[in-house]
């Protein structure tokens, strides 16, 4: 009754996927990987570990994860990204959760600890990074093009699990900036579709506020140079999101254009 399916979406994750899968061994009764067309060794690594591997053409983050959940065999779902891994304490906590015979309306929240350039980041809005990642099949679904969120079909009880979900984010500032550029444009397109508008004040005030909030108020300075770089890129993300939104409003770029 309490058997668990872990679901992962991938695209060129040869750097991370083995670590993720190994952390699930002894926890998940099956591992389902949905890939959107990797050209590296992601599939070969998954086959080596004997996971269930399927292809699904890319739509968006939510669509990929929702599709992956249609493939599971067991009633409980653990959603994990390829660049994440369970630490030993979280593994123990998940096993204890199932030992308590949980109700089907209980969902589990985990604390995610983010690694940037080999350093664990504990301030600046990156910690505590709490996510709901474990639930009974059928009570929720993913929504949103980027920074996808769960929506629930019924009231749920949230249980906090001990331990950490280790998130190996970016190797360096270049990778961080490139990914945030992509996310900023996706966020702008979502805002445009929702009819939101950006004024000149958004371009000048919000990036400065983002940096001040994360670096000063949320203690990003305590993480040294990595903390400074993260807060600077967060401010840049905010600027690019509103700059892109203004361009979409003005009709300068067709909706759906990608960099």
Q: What is the domain partition of the chain in residue ranges?
A: 4-170, 173-250
Per-residue pLDDT, averaged over 153-182, amounts to 94
pLDDT(257) > 70: no
pLDDT at residue 238 is higher than 60: yes
Q: Mean pLDDT in the chain? A: 93
Q: Write down the pTM of the prediction.
A: 0.88
What percent of the chain is predicted at pLDDT more than 90? 80
Identify the pLDDT of residue 253: 56
Per-residue confidence band for 16, with pLDDT thresholds at 50, 70 and 90: very high
pLDDT at 259: 40
- pLDDT higher than 70, residue 199: yes
Give start and end residues of each alpha helix (H) in 70-140: 88-99
The alpha-helical segments, DSSP class H, found in the chain are 17-24, 42-49, 61-69, 88-99, 173-193, 200-212, 224-250
Q: Among residues 147, 143, 249, which one has the least CA distance to residue 193?
A: 249
pLDDT band at 161 (very low <50, low <70, confident <90, very high): very high
Q: Give the β-pairing of 52-55 and 30-35.
A: parallel
Burial of 243 (0-12, 13-18, 19+ CB in 10 A): middle
- According to CATH, the topology of domain 4-170 is Spore Coat Polysaccharide Biosynthesis Protein SpsA; Chain A (3.90.550)
Q: pLDDT band at residue 1, thresholds of 50, 70 and 90?
A: low
Helix or strand holding residue 196 (H, E): none
Q: If you average pLDDT over residues 205-209, what whole number do you get?
A: 95
pLDDT, one tens digit per residue, over 29-43 is 999 999 999 999 999
The structure tokens listed for 79 are 């959603």
């Amino acid at each position: 009754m309490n058997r668990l399916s872990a679901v992962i979406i991938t695209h060129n994750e040869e750097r991370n996927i083995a670590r993720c899968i190994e952390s699930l061994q002894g926890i998940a009764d099956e591992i389902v990987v949905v890939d959107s067309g990797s050209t590296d060794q992601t599939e070969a690594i998954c086959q080596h570990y004997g996971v269930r591997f399927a292809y699904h053409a890319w739509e968006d983050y939510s669509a990929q994860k929702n599709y992956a959940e249609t493939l599971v065999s067991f009633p409980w779902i653990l959603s994990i990204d390829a660049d994440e891994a369970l630490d030993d304490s979280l593994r123990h906590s998940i096993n204890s959760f199932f030992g308590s015979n949980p109700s089907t309306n209980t969902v589990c929240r985990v604390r995610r600890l983010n690694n940037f350039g080999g350093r664990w980041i504990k301030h600046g809005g990156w910690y505590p990074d709490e996510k709901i990642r474990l639930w009974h099949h059928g009570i929720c679904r993913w929504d949103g093009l980027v920074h996808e969120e769960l929506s629930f079909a019924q009231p749920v009880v949230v249980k906090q699990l001990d331990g950490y979900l280790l998130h190996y984010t970016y190797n360096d500032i270049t990778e961080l900036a490139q990914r945030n550029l992509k996310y900023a444009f996706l966020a702008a397109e979502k805002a445009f579709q929702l009819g939101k508008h950006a004024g000149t004040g958004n371009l000048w005030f919000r990036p400065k506020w983002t940096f001040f909030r994360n670096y000063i108020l949320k203690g990003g300075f305590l993480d040294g140079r990595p903390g400074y770089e993260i807060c600077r890129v967060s401010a840049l993300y905010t600027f690019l999101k509103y700059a892109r939104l203004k361009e979409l409003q003005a009709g300068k770029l067709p909706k759906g254009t990608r960099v």
